[in-house]
Amino acid sequence: MVLLPIAISYAKTNDNQPIISPVSDDKSTDIAVSNRSTNDNFVFTELSKEQNVDEKEHVNAFSKDGVVDVPEFFYVTIPKLGIYDAKIKSNSLELNPRDAIGHFNGSCLPDEACNTFIFGHSTFKSVKNNYEKGDYREIFSKLNDLEYGDEFYINYNGKDYRYMVDFSKIDEPKEVDPLENPYPKSFHINSVTLFTCDPPGTTKYRLSVVGKLVD
């Protein structure tokens, strides 16, 4: 009786706006879009300040002769989170990634010796991940479960890249720079940043999980 009003007040604050409201776990029924409350208008607005190149004119760093064979999609597998061959939209200009994870337009690609910035939505961990049905709004809900040494994989242009989680960090949205090298400038490391909101189910902070190429 005492805690409920406090919890409701906390949930209504702007800093803790839920992306998808929690639902009961009914194993006999899939969670349908029509049966849940969603915030379809949420976008990663902090990334928009860096969107200063047009997708058609984009040339990634370290490309040869300005020619890059960039597929429309590439894929990520994160075994610990039960994610397999999830779609990533290359050079995405969509900052509300509902149909695929986004690769930030202007950041590197896996075949380049720098950082690939990949962003996706998250929500309460109790909500079922429906990415296999084409709904990517829960894809990174358990991203903060990843720890140092955990592995994930990128399939890019038919080639597999294996990464090991090196570290993670939490920032305020205004502190996010998707083009920043997560390592000191003197280090040319092939790395991937997996990025989402934190804590799961809110939009208060941003979580970055950085993995470096193993092979």
Tens-digit pLDDT profile for residues 121-139 = 999 999 999 999 999 999 9
Q: Does residue 187 fall inside a structural domain?
A: yes
Residue 14 predicted with pLDDT over 60:
no
Q: What tokens does 105 get?
A: 């337009």
Rounded Cα gap, residues 10 and 97, in angstroms: 26
Residue 65 predicted with pLDDT over 60:
no
Report the CATH number at residue 125. Answer: 2.40.260.10
Tell me the pLDDT band of 67, cut-offs 50, 70 and 90.
Answer: low
Query: What does residue 65 show for φ and ψ, rounded to 5 degrees?
Result: 60, 25
Residue 99 predicted with pLDDT over 60:
yes
Mean pLDDT of 179-192: 89
Structural domains in the chain (count):
1
Residue 63 predicted with pLDDT over 60:
no
Q: Does residue 209 fall inside a structural domain?
A: yes
| Sequence-separated contacts (24+) of 40-49 with Cβ below 8 Å | 40/96, 40/98, 41/96, 42/17, 42/96, 42/121, 42/203, 43/95, 43/96, 44/95, 44/96, 44/119, 45/95, 45/173, 46/173, 46/174, 46/176, 46/206, 47/95, 47/104, 47/119, 47/176, 47/178, 48/95
pTM of the model: 0.78
Mean pLDDT of 169-188: 91
Q: Does residue 28 fall inside a structural domain?
A: no
Residue 52 predicted with pLDDT over 70:
no
Q: Does residue 124 fall inside a structural domain?
A: yes
Q: Does residue 26 fall inside a structural domain?
A: no
Rounded Cα gap, residues 194 and 201, in angstroms: 17
Domain that holds residue 106: 44-54+68-213
What is the pLDDT at residue 69? 83
What is the pLDDT at residue 215? 80
Residue 119 predicted with pLDDT over 90:
yes
Q: Does residue 126 fall inside a structural domain?
A: yes
